[in-house]
Chains A and B, each alone.
Chain A
Amino acid sequence: MQTKALSEFDRERYSRQLRIEGFGEEGQLRLKGATVLVSRVGGVGGTAAMNLVRAGVGRLILAHGGKVVPEYLNRWQLITPDDLGRPCAQVWAEKLGQIDADVEIVTVDEYINGENVADLVSRADLVVDGAPLFEERYLMNDEAMRQGKPLCMGAMFGMEGYASTFIPGESACLRCVFPEKPEYWTDMKVFPAIGPGPAIVGTTIAMEAIKVLTGFGQPLKNILWFFDLESNTTRYLEIERVKDCPACGASRSH
Chain B
Amino acid sequence: MPTLFVPAPFRKSVEDLSRLEVGAGSVSALLREVDTRYPGFNAQLHGPDGSVKKYIRIFVNGKDIKALDGMETALDTRDEVFIVSAMAGG
Residue of A nearest to B67 (CB): A240
A45: min CB distance to chain B, Å: 6
Whether A178 pairs with B18 at a CB distance below 8 angstroms is no
Residues of A within 8 A of B67 (CB): 238, 240
Whether A156 pairs with B64 at a CB distance below 8 angstroms is no
- Asked whether B43 is an interface residue with its Cβ less than 8 Å from the other chain, the reply is no
A234: min CB distance to chain B, Å: 11
- Asked whether A43 is an interface residue with its Cβ less than 8 Å from the other chain, the reply is yes
Residue of B nearest to A192 (CB): B89
Q: A197-B89, A224-B57 are in contact. List 16 more A-B contacts (CB 8 A).
A: A133-B88, A155-B88, A156-B87, A160-B7, A160-B8, A161-B87, A178-B55, A226-B82, A228-B18, A230-B8, A231-B5, A231-B19, A233-B19, A235-B82, A238-B64, A238-B67
Interface bits B1-35 vs A (CB < 8 Å: 1, else 0): 00001011100000000110000000000000000
Interface residue SS majority, chain B: mixed
Interface with B: A16-24, A55-63, A179-187, A243-251, which one? A179-187
Whether B90 pairs with A233 at a CB distance below 8 angstroms is no
- Asked whether B37 is an interface residue with its Cβ less than 8 Å from the other chain, the reply is no
Whether A137 pairs with B64 at a CB distance below 8 angstroms is no
- Asked whether A9 is an interface residue with its Cβ less than 8 Å from the other chain, the reply is no
- Asked whether A237 is an interface residue with its Cβ less than 8 Å from the other chain, the reply is yes
Report the bound CA distance from A27 to B58 in whole Å: 37
Interface bits B47-90 vs A (CB < 8 Å: 1, else 0): 00000011101010011101100000000000000101111111
Whether A233 pairs with B89 at a CB distance below 8 angstroms is no
Can you list 18 residue pairs at the A/B interface with Cβ under 8 Å?
A: A43-B89, A43-B90, A130-B90, A131-B90, A132-B88, A158-B89, A161-B87, A179-B55, A181-B88, A182-B53, A182-B55, A185-B86, A191-B89, A226-B82, A231-B18, A235-B59, A237-B64, A239-B57
Whether A156 pairs with B62 at a CB distance below 8 angstroms is no
Q: Which residues from chain A sit less than 8 Å from chain B, CB to CB?
A: 40, 42-45, 130-134, 137, 154-162, 177-182, 184-185, 190-191, 193, 197-198, 224, 226, 228, 230-231, 233, 235-240
Report the bound CA distance from A228 to B18 in whole Å: 9
Whether B54 pairs with A240 at a CB distance below 8 angstroms is no
B28: min CB distance to chain A, Å: 20
Give which listed residue, A177, A182, A198, A231, contacts B57 with CB less than 8 A: A177
Residues of B within 8 A of A182 (CB): 9, 53, 55, 85-86
Residues of A within 8 A of B7 (CB): 160, 228
Whether A239 pairs with B64 at a CB distance below 8 angstroms is yes
Whether A191 pairs with B62 at a CB distance below 8 angstroms is no
Which 8 pairs, one residue from A and one from B, show the smallest C-beta to C-beta distance? A191-B89, A130-B90, A180-B54, A231-B18, A178-B86, A157-B87, A44-B90, A156-B89
Residues of A within 8 A of B89 (CB): 43-44, 132, 155-158, 161, 190-191, 193, 197-198
Whether B62 pairs with A181 at a CB distance below 8 angstroms is no
Given contacts A132-B90, A137-B88, is CB(A159)–CB(B57) below 8 Å? no
Given contacts A178-B54, A237-B62, is CB(A230)–CB(B88) below 8 Å? no
Whether B90 pairs with A42 at a CB distance below 8 angstroms is yes
Residue of B nearest to A178 (CB): B86
Report the bound CA distance from A88 to B66 in whole Å: 41
